[in-house]
Chain A
Amino acid sequence: MLQNIHFNKLKDLPEQVKQFGGLVALTIFIILSFGILNVFWGGGDELIRKMKLEEERIAKEKKLNELISKLPSGILVTFDGTDNYRLTDELYEAVCNATKLIPQRAIMAAHFLNYEAYELYTINGNKIDDTFVKWDSEKNKCFAGYSVSGENVGVNKTENVSGEVLSFLSTGIDTRVYFIKNF
């Protein structure tokens, strides 16, 4: 009964008011629909967090690339040398963070004192598994390493080689580990 009364009241409203009410209802309906859609499809804080991380990484990489492009081509060392470019402490850390590659030369030199690793390396077709170049903030030194694995006389073995990076090679485009002191 009460519903009927309200319905009749609505029906009796002037046409202009009904139209205006329709517009208001339509607007609310659209906004609500967007809200519902947002529940299922909206990408909020998670995306922002991911994108921020990505942007930070890109910015860092860009900065390091800029630094590397300013370095002279050749061998970069951490000690007093004759013809080589000596890195300051800050540069040493920056170059360490920017370096990703451990070329074969550095690997072969590191094998010099690790015969097991040398054997695994040559038997399994000069393949290496994981590599890393990282800055040790406690020791204030750059460390690099890799692991070699494979079969040697029918036995599966894994050998980890790591040590302090004493020098880098700057190609003008990137920097690479030049010598790993694993003794």
Chain B
Amino acid sequence: MELIRKYPKLFQWLFLLSVFFTLCFAIDVPETYKFIRGQAEFVKDPNQSTYIFLGKEVRYFAFDNFWRLPPLLGWLPIWINDGLFFLLNEWMPMEFWNEDTQEFKTRPLVLQITRNITAFMTFLIEFIREILLGGVETIVAFSSWDWIDKNPWAELPGLPWTIVAAGATILSYKLSGKGLALFAGFTMVYISIFGQWKPSMQTLSFILVAAPLSFIFGLSLGIMAYKSKRVEKALYPILLVMQTMPQYAVLVPAMVLFGIGDHAAVIITMVVAIPPMILLTILGLRAVPPEVIEAGKMSGCNNWQLLFKVLIPTARRDILIGVNQVIMVCFSMAVIAAFIGAKGLGWNLLLALNQLNIGLALEAGLCISLIAILLDKMSLAWANKQEDYFGNLTFFQRHKNFIFFVGAVILGLILAYSGSFIFKDTFNYLFEIPHNKGISTAGFWNKGVDWIFDTFFVYIKAFNTWLITEVLQPMRGLYLRMPAVATLVLVIGAGYIIGGIRSAIVVGSLALFIAFSPWWDRALVTAYMATFGVIASMIIGVTVGTICVQNKITTNFMLGICDIFQTFPSFVYLIPVMMLFGITDTSVLIAVIVYATIPATRYTIEGLRGVPVALHDAATMSGVTKFQRLTKIEFPLAFPHMMLGLNQTIVFALFMVIIGAFIGTEDLGQYILKALSDKQGGGKGLTLGICVAFIGLIFDNLIRTWVDKRKKHLGID
């Protein structure tokens, strides 16, 4: 009893682990158990048991429940599918006027709404695309094809690439100065001369629709949540799940509702991009000091004025960081949305990866990354920019950027016009460099890949074989060997020890949802891959972060690297690993490690940097060595922050594992990918996505609860 009182947590953990292992050893693998025995496949097998719930028949392999729980939630995907079908095809049929046939037509309400949204989105995308690339669709939307035939001059010409490049450079200069202007100029020239102009503008056009709309919806919902507790409470669980939900999973139900194409991509991007905007808006508005609000009220502001003249301008920085996040999410979605037909760089990248043309994929990936970095830097510069008040500036000084832009437009037009004479018999390179007519380094990279394979094949294969047979397979086997009861005891017990009964109930409910879904085995495989990635990432991240933080220059350098790497859309990480390791699990895991190391490194650096200087001085004065200071003072104090890094690392790893399905893993991601090409995949995709999100949320809950307690204990809350 005394020992329990002295080391209570240690005893609780020891007890929990011993129960876990006892259960693992006591419960044998059933003779009939085979991994991927179609429990999740919804296939018919004479050995399956069935049950009917809500009129839906669920077929499953009934095991001893201590080993695997029955899929009591197996009806959920079928029910979601039927629900979607009912909404789209049967619910509330109404008469709607059809412009084409000039008569009323009966259509279900939801179908009509989705079609109207689709038409609106398509119009917006086409409109921006035609400003950037030229076309006739927009003019036709306001007139007719007959009118265009009679007036061919009305065809919209695209903007010459020189003007867009100059515009981006001038805007970057205005926001951040010479450095960013140079980078913007380089990026624009690069994408142009490498023949990626058209796909880049296609990608940009869909981002230019998705980002502002996400901003408007995110800001509005954020304000509503700030104003009303009820709205906040309603939004909270959705925001929580969306933070850890893989973007893939959203594709499937949205595809059912909106079909495929750029418009569906915009809607999905908005669904993914709105949550961070809402969160940052709430965060920004909450951070407004009460004195400022008081001052606003005392000045006689009404609610509207208080919001737009006081709260939003004060929270401007956080809101603009939200804009930055929205843009980043839009870029990461550019590739994922290509799965449902979004045109542009993402589509090209996907196509190249499918053909295993690493060179082409690299070119497209580099373009996406460059544009993403540029827009990231530009939006951050906008967020950090202070308002300028020009007291004594001349007209030219005040409007020089605009004047330069007008000059650039005129010069660009002259260049494009003269180009039509210079390149009379070929393409007008001063107007637009066609997709396959620019410089291409694909051949060089492909040869490089071949050389790497020829030279290092033996070593790469040996490493691959060793990793798969000696590390990955046994680890996977161990995870699959865990009986359901043991896993749930471990998860719920951990929740109880860390956060009490409330935390135990939360994590238990999340784990039970997965256990009762038909994909428990797949979830275990996802968890094993993510665990491997997280362990490796944390080891690398903490080591690198700790070494770098010893020096200011290396700290800033490493944070800069993290910034750049974080900007890359997640799909881009697959290119170099596929170059080196081909289509194997190793590729996925290395991509996971690289991607997840970013938050691990960043949070380690920030945690160690956050240790008060006074404590450093106190330690130095007490005569401790550098190593003692690190281990006895800095690490314990920075540990809670580093654990938040672990939380982020887990989310990043899960995202990448799911994207790795593209290479061919056998986890939940693979099923999400399968659901994409399944007519009845909407419900499956969504349920699978929720399963992945819940894995993330289990760890999120455990880590956050622990961090809060620890911070309170250390007095650094």
Contacts and interface: CB of A to CB of B under 8 A. Distances in A.
Contacts of A23: 12, 15-16, 493, 496-497
Contact of B62 (A27, A47, A54): A47
Interface in A20-76: 20, 22-24, 26-27, 30-31, 34-35, 37-38, 41-44, 47-48, 50-52, 54
A54 B15 CA distance: 42
A19 interface: yes
A156 interface: no
A43 B47 CA distance: 10
A16 interface: yes
B271 interface: no
Nearest to B37: A51
A-side interface mostly: helix
A20 B4 contact: yes
Interface residues of B, number: 35
Contacts of A43: 49, 61-64
A30 B492 contact: yes
B145 interface: no
Nearest to B19: A27
B12 A20 contact: yes
Nearest to B72: A41
A38 B1 CA distance: 35
Contacts of B69: 34, 37, 41
Contacts of B15: 20, 23-24, 27
Interface string B26-67: 000011100000000000001101000000000001111110
B5 interface: yes
A17 B489 contact: no
Interface string B679-710: 00000000000000000000000000000000
Contacts of B65: 34, 37-38, 41-42
A34 B504 CA distance: 17
Given A16-B5, A23-B16, A27-B19, A44 B64 contact: yes
Contact of B47 (A17, A24, A44, A51): A51
Contacts of A20: 4, 8, 11-12, 15
B222 interface: no
B506 interface: no
A154 interface: no
A38 B66 contact: yes
Nearest to A31: B485
A14 to B, nearest CB: 6
B501 interface: yes
Nearest to B65: A38
Contacts of B488: 30
Interface in A104-146: none
A31 B32 contact: no
Interface in B2-25: 4-5, 8, 11-12, 15-16, 19, 23
A38 B64 CA distance: 7
A50 B5 contact: no
Given A20-B8, A47-B61, A26 B492 contact: yes
B12 A41 contact: no
Nearest to A50: B47
Given A19-B8, A23-B496, A30 B62 contact: no
B70 interface: yes
Question: Which of A20, A34, A42 counts the most chain B CB atoms within 10 A?
Answer: A34
B71 to A, nearest CB: 10
Contacts of A14: 5
Nearest to B11: A20
23 contacts: A16-B4, A20-B15, A22-B496, A23-B496, A23-B497, A26-B504, A27-B489, A30-B489, A30-B492, A31-B23, A34-B485, A41-B69, A41-B70, A41-B72, A43-B63, A47-B49, A47-B62, A47-B63, A48-B32, A50-B46, A51-B47, A52-B31, A54-B47
Given A20-B12, A23-B15, 16 more contacts: A17-B1, A17-B4, A17-B5, A19-B12, A23-B496, A26-B492, A26-B496, A30-B489, A34-B69, A38-B64, A38-B66, A41-B72, A42-B63, A47-B49, A48-B31, A54-B47
7 closest A-B pairs (Cβ-Cβ)? A43-B62, A16-B8, A38-B65, A41-B70, A51-B32, A34-B485, A37-B65
Interface of A: 14, 16-17, 19-20, 22-24, 26-27, 30-31, 34-35, 37-38, 41-44, 47-48, 50-52, 54
